[in-house]
Amino acid sequence: MQKKGCPYGTHRVISPKGVLPQPADVIDNTMEIYDNEVLINVQTLNVDSASFTEIVRRACDGKKPTDDLSAADIQSIKDTMLGIVAKAGKHKNPWTGSGGMLIGTVEKIGDNYVGDLKVGDKLATLVSLSLTPLVIDEIIDMRPAIDQVDIKGHAILFQSGIYAILPDDMPENLALSVLDVAGAPAQTAKLVQSGDTVVVIGGGGKSGMLCLYEAKKRAGVNGKVICIAGSPKSAKRAEDLGFADEVIVADATNAVEVYNKIMESTDGKLADVVINCVSIENTEMASILATKDDGTVYFFSMATNFTKAALGAEGVGKDVNMIIGNGYCKGHAAIALQELRESELLRKVFTDLFA
């Protein structure tokens, strides 16, 4: 007889008592399912970029995921990840608070689970690893540059947990990389109006490229899309894609530099919409200063700090709308996957980088 579970997974919370699984410090990751849960045989974790960057930095003496990592570095990353899960019952990064998502196969479904899933379905979870009960038996392989980690292990999807069945017209790792950041292009589709000036900070990165595509599609010929890239390498990637009208290399932690460059590029008008897709801290002010009064800043980055954004905007007298990057937005998986079907070029770049 299976035990009765709460749709939001509160029955798995160990501490502190009374909170939901995401803010919880420790959750129960025993893999015996409750009556409304789904057991997933996990194949790959796509660790959130901000989370993975921080794990690598701490585990490998300040290195980045894209650096040359030694066998000892890889072992240290593995130990950190296994340590996180052993302590919390989930892969919630203790420093960034963020998770990521996973792909796997449905192994067992609770007797009272309501939904269309069947045993054997291949899916990507669209709820964060920061709330997903997880057991890692073994880390088999790792692609640090793209935040993907192949494991032997299991996870639990709660009744309220959203997911996407993996499409059959693209490789799984390609779909995984896109679905990881699906909220960003979908929010871009909602926010950008025809004729808008849009700045995508971190536009040469994974979510950034999807946002550039969607922003150009929505802003149209009368709009202007500007990409701020962190390095010449990601700037070249964005330039080759051709979705941005202008690509600028600038350090997003240098708010004044970004402001001056966006002032110059927009004839002093600034942007209607700024989308922050960076993977590092202290980029709130560059985003705010690049936005015109009554404009909108969408903070997709998990490294965003609410206090810095709120007090920072007040401090410079900016009346801008600031949106927290909710990873979920209606139809987000479909919108993100559709971009790869619409743009061969985007699909090629994503395939080369992630699949």
Under the rule (CB under 6 A), what is the footprint of ligand NAP?
48-50, 98, 180-181, 183, 202, 204-208, 228-231, 233-234, 251-253, 277-280, 300-303, 325, 327
Q: How far is the CB of 1 from ligand NAP (least distance, A)?
A: 37
Cβ-contact 141, 150 below 8 angstroms: yes
- Measured distance CA(127)–CA(92) in Å, rounded: 12
Whichever of 14 and 145 has its CB closer to ligand NAP, that residue is 145
Q: How far is the CB of 147 from ligand NAP (least distance, A)?
A: 7
Q: How far is the CB of 22 from ligand NAP (least distance, A)?
A: 12
Q: DSSP for 224-290?
A: EEEEEESSHHHHHHHHHHT--SEEEE--TT-HHHHHHHHHHHTTT--EEEEEE--SSSS-HHHHHHT
- Measured distance CA(332)–CA(346) in Å, rounded: 17
Please, which residues have CB within 8 angstroms of residue 352's CB and are 6 or more apart in sequence? none
Whichever of 7 and 97 has its CB closer to ligand NAP, that residue is 97
Q: How far is the CB of 187 from ligand NAP (least distance, A)?
A: 9
- Measured distance CA(38)–CA(214) in Å, rounded: 33
Whichever of 159 and 276 has its CB closer to ligand NAP, that residue is 276
Cβ-contact 94, 53 below 8 angstroms: no
Whichever of 103 and 252 has its CB closer to ligand NAP, that residue is 252
With CB atoms as reference, the residue minimizing the distance to ligand NAP is: 205
Whichever of 95 and 111 has its CB closer to ligand NAP, that residue is 95
Whichever of 295 and 327 has its CB closer to ligand NAP, that residue is 327
What does residue 219 show for φ and ψ, rounded to 5 degrees? -75, -30
Q: How far is the CB of 139 from ligand NAP (least distance, A)?
A: 20
Sign (positive/negative) of CA torsion 145, 146, 152, 155? positive
- Measured distance CA(346)–CA(1) in Å, rounded: 49
Q: How far is the CB of 109 from ligand NAP (least distance, A)?
A: 26
Residue 235's Cβ-count burial label (10 Å; 0-12, 13-18, 19+) is buried
Whichever of 14 and 162 has its CB closer to ligand NAP, that residue is 162
Q: How far is the CB of 291 from ligand NAP (least distance, A)?
A: 16
What does residue 47 show for φ and ψ, rounded to 5 degrees? -70, 140
